A and B are shown apart, each in its own frame.
Chain A
Amino acid sequence: MTRKKSANKVRKTKHISIDRDLEKNKAHIRKILGDSPDTSWGEVTLHNRKSEKIHILILSIGGLADEASIHQNILEPLRKQSKVADNIIEGVKEKIYINEVKYEANLYNAILKTLRGNTFILIEGYTTGIIASTEGKETRSIEEPPTEAVVSGSRESFIESVHTNISLLRQRIASPQLRFQLYTFGEYSQTEVVLAYVEGIVDPQVLERVNKRIRKIEVDDIASSGQIEQYLEDQTYTIFPVTGNTERPDVAAAMLMEGRVVLIVDGTPITLFYPSLFLEKMQDVEDYSSRPFSSSVVRLLRLFAFVISTMLPALYICIVNFHKEAIPSGFLLALEKSREGVPLPLVQETLLLIVLFEIVREAGVRMPRAIGQAVSIVGALILGEVSVAAGLISAQTIIVVSTAAITAFIVTPVAEVVSLLRIIYIIPSATFGFYGLMVSVLFTIMHMANLKSMGVYYMAPIMPLYFRDWKDAFIRLPYRLLKYRPKSIPNVRPIRYKRVPPSPNKGNEKHDKNN
């Protein structure tokens, strides 16, 4: 792993030199860290050849550093040692059982590193200290990804620790070509962000673009990957997510192999990848592990669901209020009956229901699980039978809104976009009918065609047209036919495989009867 420090980062770091007097250093550290209860101080006394006492101060942060490791690998070997060589700092470095050891002459830097779980060893009479890597903070175990569950496929999920996440990627791409770059962001939060890519596949331009933008980030803290996502985006004012995110190491590895750049942010299991395309939101991991035919159908279904989910309420309003001839004649009576005696105009009724639905959904997501059930019962009752029986809302409107709502759940990556568009489309539809709806749909398409993700067109391979990529866009053809990496994602290694067993149907394979 190459550690890159951005220019401004170096400039920002304060320089405090280490004093030869331990007590002075101690006071200095106390001053910087304050009286935090989690700082733990250890002291060891050694003797040099002249039998002079040499005090050694060991600083670590409880909870971040591995206490047992400090005890076994630093304190014990030092205490066993009665006498050390003249060059005490070399001696100490040799004695402790820790591999990753560095010298540090800047007290402030040393403290920053200690705050990341390292142990800082200060020796009396030296202006250089030792940083020993003893990171041992509490992490979650690797579990099944809760947001992207699959039937067949890997059960592993990224966790909050950057280093575990890196190892999860390494397990999948065990090639030296897989590169990681470590950045530290946040003057206060000191969040580690790792940029991963596969050398030889990734397009240098894209990588350069990511690096350029990333270096310009200079903030107090990074709270989540969503924050980084918004700093790096090409367009600020769009409802479409132009950054891909995943919780699954296998997806991230696949993205890397397509020539994308993955960002792992410490403290969140959601990793980001660039560039990300719109059509990918209609795809799922499962598509790649199931048969191409069923996954193609499911993909088309998702696309259909996206259209229905955004446009159904608007279409409903258009048809009922403006274009009554489009109502099927057989349905007219039932529709008219249910509209009769309903107090609100259709538009208000639909909007009310959509807002109610969003409230129930939000409540269902945020509520503690114990209360969650109550929400669903109340939601089902309010939005369901009772409101129809009370003559407040017509049954057809409920069907329309709930169909629109339920179809949004199969396109979860763009669920937020869908619920916004749904409301946006209602307004022109309610004022201008089909015409308004069509104009607003055109505007949406124009806007989407303008979007870019790390300089790559968001609507590729539709706009610009890369017909070859359609093999894995709306539908997915068998792997055998996916010889080339998608052109939509710039890469420098276009061919995905050199050779696969030829298809027997084509007569390429000679059937040996003796076998």
Chain B
Amino acid sequence: MIRIISAVVIVLMLFLAGCKDSVELDESMMVVGVGIKKAGDEYEIAVEAIAPSDVTPNEETVKEKSIILTTKSKTFFDAAREVIRISKRRLFFTHAIVWIIHEDLASEEDMLNFLDVLRREQMLRLNSYLFITDEDPKDIFTTDPIFSNNISRELVSGLESGEFVSSYPTVRARELFKMLMSTMNNGYLPIIKRKEEEAGSQLTQINGTAIIKNGRKVGKLDVLESAGLMLLNNKTQGASVRVTFDDVKGSFELLRGDTDVKTKLQGNQLKVDIHMDAVGEITEQIIEGTTMPIQISDFEKKVAGKIEKAIHKALNKLQKDFKADVTLIGMNTYRKQPKAFNKVKDKWEDIFSEAEINVNVDVEITEQGLIDSPCESYKKKKNRNPYDF
């Protein structure tokens, strides 16, 4: 009897799932990138989908581009449904790894709101990368990818390898939600732009950081300031700093960095001590003429100064121009002095903008980069040509 009952229960349970969920791959359209913007009082949605056109791939043919479709509607859901009318296939957003949001939409509407709607409609996945642009998102999708055949995939592979070029932020939807829903309600997103190449083709480029305050875009940091913000927020891996002496150019690569933000809130007075320990190597050092090689300690000081300058520049903009705390300062104050923080929570942006911030960077160079001595040193000694045959 138990057997029969359990068999019936299991069979009934099977009907919870259904074959209606089965969609053949050649009846579906896999969206890899989505761009959203405002057009009047309507939303415009641009999707980039994989073009499965070529059945027998021929190596001689040019790389085919992906499909880009745009529709407009009052709601995102309707707009996405409209795309089906054009594509004649069911859309799958599960691989939509890139979401490009137009600047106007980001500054006019609360991002948390519309992104949340998209997430709940199962269009936006939490591991997708988000971007802000001041151009038509559709145009970003139409730029030429260099390696892969769709721009979204290329952008992502760029970001995933970009951990060694930490001058721009990489923000996934999950991280943005986390930032916007935290105590600060502020966040940041990378800005993407088109770049004209000489041959007439267009490429994309990450160009600065958009600062989001209370869910709306309020301003932008340029490349140097973005780097400063990243260093400030302890996202320091692989940052590269270029320094120039009078006749010596050199690059410094950060191997390990640790930023420590110490805050002290007294009434409305905020004192911040930012200390950064940076360990790195000299990656390039070009000596012109026959000047003496530079002192390592000088180099260290120079690099420290440069990093401090970048952090100061970023802080300056955040404090004075945007009054938006997207740094660890607010978070650390809240964690350390929750009661004092809660008292001044409403006027935090003023307190932040008035805060007294000291930045102190310690740089230690452990490796000197280039292995061999330069040609110059060989020149002095006769018959010691390193390229002797």
A218, B319: Cα distance in complex, Å: 97
Cross-chain contact A341 with B19 (CB below 8 angstroms): no
Cross-chain contact A339 with B25 (CB below 8 angstroms): yes
The reply to whether the CB of A69 lies closer than 8 angstroms to some CB of chain B is no
The reply to whether the CB of B28 lies closer than 8 angstroms to some CB of chain A is yes
Cross-chain contact B22 with A332 (CB below 8 angstroms): no
Q: A-B contact count, CB below 8 Å?
A: 80
The reply to whether the CB of A433 lies closer than 8 angstroms to some CB of chain B is yes
The reply to whether the CB of B56 lies closer than 8 angstroms to some CB of chain A is yes
The reply to whether the CB of A208 lies closer than 8 angstroms to some CB of chain B is no
A340, B52: Cα distance in complex, Å: 6
From A44-52, A318-326, A484-492, the one touching the partner chain is: A318-326
CB distance from B148 to the nearest CB of A (A): 8
A346, B19: Cα distance in complex, Å: 14
Cross-chain contact A329 with B153 (CB below 8 angstroms): yes
CB distance from A339 to the nearest CB of B (A): 4
Chain A interface mostly: helix
Cross-chain contact B52 with A339 (CB below 8 angstroms): yes
Interface residues on B, range: 20 to 34
Query: Which A residue's beta carbon lies closest to that of B53?
Result: A340
The reply to whether the CB of A504 lies closer than 8 angstroms to some CB of chain B is no
Q: Which residues of B contact A337 (CB under 8 A)?
A: 52, 54-55, 57
A324, B49: Cα distance in complex, Å: 14
Q: Which residues of A contact B28 (CB under 8 A)?
A: 324
Query: A333-B50, A436-B14 given as contacts; is B24 within 8 A of A340 (CB)?
Result: no
Q: Which residues of A contact B95 (CB under 8 A)?
A: 324-325, 327, 329, 332
Q: Which residues of A contact B130 (CB under 8 A)?
A: none
* A 328-342 contacts with B by CB, 8 A: 329-330, 332-333, 335-337, 339-342
Cross-chain contact A329 with B97 (CB below 8 angstroms): yes
Residue from A322, A336, A439 whose CB has the most chain B CB atoms within 10 Å: A336
The reply to whether the CB of A412 lies closer than 8 angstroms to some CB of chain B is no
Question: Interface readout for A404-440 with B: 1 if CB under 8 Å, 0 if not?
Answer: 0000000000000000000000001011110110010
The reply to whether the CB of B23 lies closer than 8 angstroms to some CB of chain A is yes
CB distance from A343 to the nearest CB of B (A): 10
Question: Interface readout for B221-261 with A: 1 if CB under 8 Å, 0 if not?
Answer: 00000000000000000000000000000000000000000
The reply to whether the CB of B17 lies closer than 8 angstroms to some CB of chain A is yes
A436, B15: Cα distance in complex, Å: 10
A325, B128: Cα distance in complex, Å: 12
CB distance from A135 to the nearest CB of B (A): 53
Query: Which B residue's beta carbon lies closest to that of A428?
Result: B14
Residue from B16, B26, B53 whose CB has the most chain A CB atoms within 10 Å: B26
CB distance from A195 to the nearest CB of B (A): 36
The reply to whether the CB of B30 lies closer than 8 angstroms to some CB of chain A is yes
CB distance from B330 to the nearest CB of A (A): 35
Cross-chain contact A439 with B10 (CB below 8 angstroms): yes
The reply to whether the CB of A377 lies closer than 8 angstroms to some CB of chain B is no
The reply to whether the CB of B40 lies closer than 8 angstroms to some CB of chain A is no
CB distance from B159 to the nearest CB of A (A): 13
A337, B55: Cα distance in complex, Å: 6
Contacting A435 at CB < 8 Å: which of B17, B32, B57? B17
Contacting B25 at CB < 8 Å: which of A329, A335, A391, A431? A335
Q: Which residues of B contact A436 (CB under 8 A)?
A: 14, 17
Query: A333-B50, A337-B54 given as contacts; is B14 within 8 A of A433 (CB)?
Result: no
A439, B17: Cα distance in complex, Å: 12
Cross-chain contact A342 with B17 (CB below 8 angstroms): no
Cross-chain contact B94 with A325 (CB below 8 angstroms): yes
Q: Which residues of B contact A435 (CB under 8 A)?
A: 14, 16-17
CB distance from B359 to the nearest CB of A (A): 40
* B 145-186 contacts with A by CB, 8 A: 148-150, 153, 156
Question: Interface readout for B1-37 with A: 1 if CB under 8 Å, 0 if not?
Answer: 0000000001001101111011111101010100000
Residue from B10, B55, B125 whose CB has the most chain A CB atoms within 10 Å: B55
Query: Which A residue's beta carbon lies closest to that of B93?
Result: A325
25 CB-based A-B contacts, threshold 8 Å:
A320-B25, A321-B25, A324-B25, A324-B30, A325-B94, A325-B95, A325-B125, A327-B95, A329-B153, A333-B52, A336-B50, A336-B52, A337-B52, A337-B55, A339-B25, A340-B55, A345-B24, A346-B24, A430-B19, A430-B22, A432-B14, A432-B18, A432-B19, A433-B22, A435-B14
| Interface positions of A (Cβ within 8 A of B) | 320-322, 324-325, 327, 329-330, 332-333, 335-337, 339-342, 345-346, 389, 391, 428, 430-433, 435-436, 439
Interface contacts beyond A333-B150, A337-B54: sample of 16 additional A-B pairs, CB < 8 Å, sorted by A: A324-B25, A324-B30, A325-B125, A329-B153, A332-B32, A336-B25, A336-B50, A337-B55, A339-B25, A340-B26, A341-B55, A346-B24, A391-B55, A432-B14, A435-B16, A435-B17
